[in-house]
Structure 1
Amino acid sequence: MRILEYKKQLIISVFALIFSGITYGQTNVKTSQTDGKVNISQDERVEKLVAYKAKINKTDDEKRFRIQIYNGTLEGAQKAKETFNKEFSGIDSDIAFETPNYKVRVGKFRTRLEADRYLIEVKKEYPSAFLLQP
């Protein structure tokens, strides 16, 4: 019995040494190849288009139509924003302070038509909502 245990331990030890040598040996293999490089070839108009889009979005942000849904205290503004975010997910909303009131404004619409369409939906829940022009 004792010899059988020693044989099992010897076999397991040999396999462990062989496999550890193989796994460690993979890191020490010296090859003549250099590090890989990735070349991306794309039309130069793509870069111009991305730069143009970034420029438009950066400068055009203040010229967008907004919808104001609340005007009053800070607590009321936070509550209105929270309920709006629950009812209308996917539309930006923020709280602006203009002395002495807090105002909740939603959306950033590029065109008046888009803003009017969304205003109709918002007025069902917030009857006092109105459109702000840039």
Structure 2
Amino acid sequence: MFRKNKIAITTALIIGAIANTIAQEGQVSIQQDETIPALLEQKSEMVQDGVIGERYRIQLFSGDNNQASKVIKEYRALFPHWSSTIVFETPNYKVWIGNFRNSLEADRALLEIKKSFPAAFRFRPEKR
């Protein structure tokens, strides 16, 4: 008897939920804050710049500033299509290349870069 009541109550609740969803037809109006498109654009830029998100880079050099400048100039002459930057992490200046979306993309670039810079390696920067 208890089991039949439990089944009946469960069935009634399911039918009521279905009827309630069907009965709620109509128009929905959504009001959006004006700052949301600007925030989405800013987030997209941050993902592209590698500030947020999981990205990979290639390191060519780690050492003093003068040598880092020479390495980046040499790199830019050979590979202008991937971005490059000098980053200071105490006590060294590092030359970082690219902002690759996945390890496969970074590995393909690394194969090409290693021909000119054999000490280059792929890594994922720590989030700051």
Q: For the superposition of Structure 1 and Structure 2, which TM-score range results when normalised by the shorter chain?
A: 0.5 to 0.7
1:58 to 38, 46, 52: 46
Q: Which has the larger radius of gyration?
A: 1
Whether 2:115 is the aligned partner of 1:127: answer no
- The residue correspondences of 1:62-101 to structure 2 (distance < 5 A) are 62=51, 63-101=54-92
Unpaired stretches in structure 1, ≥5 consecutive residues: 1-47
What displacement does 1:91 show?
1.2
> Separation in 1 of the partners of 2:47 and 2:80?
26
Identity among equivalent pairs (%): 41
- The residue correspondences of 1:8-87 to structure 2 (distance < 5 A) are 55-59=43-47, 61-62=50-51, 63-87=54-78
> Separation in 1 of the partners of 2:77 and 2:122?
21
Unpaired stretches in structure 2, ≥5 consecutive residues: 1-35
Q: 1:26-50: CA deviations, max 9, x gaps?
A: xxxxxxxxxxxxxxxxxxxxxx99x
Q: What's the TM-score once normalised by structure 2's chain length?
A: 0.60
Aligned to 2:30: none
Q: 1:6-30: CA deviations, max 9, x gaps?
A: xxxxxxxxxxxxxxxxxxxxxxxxx
**Root mean square deviation, CA, Å:** 2.2
Match of 1:70, SS state, is strand
Match of 2:107, SS state, is helix
Aligned to 1:33: none
Paired residue type of 2:72: K
Matched pairs, number: 87
What displacement does 1:52 show?
5.3
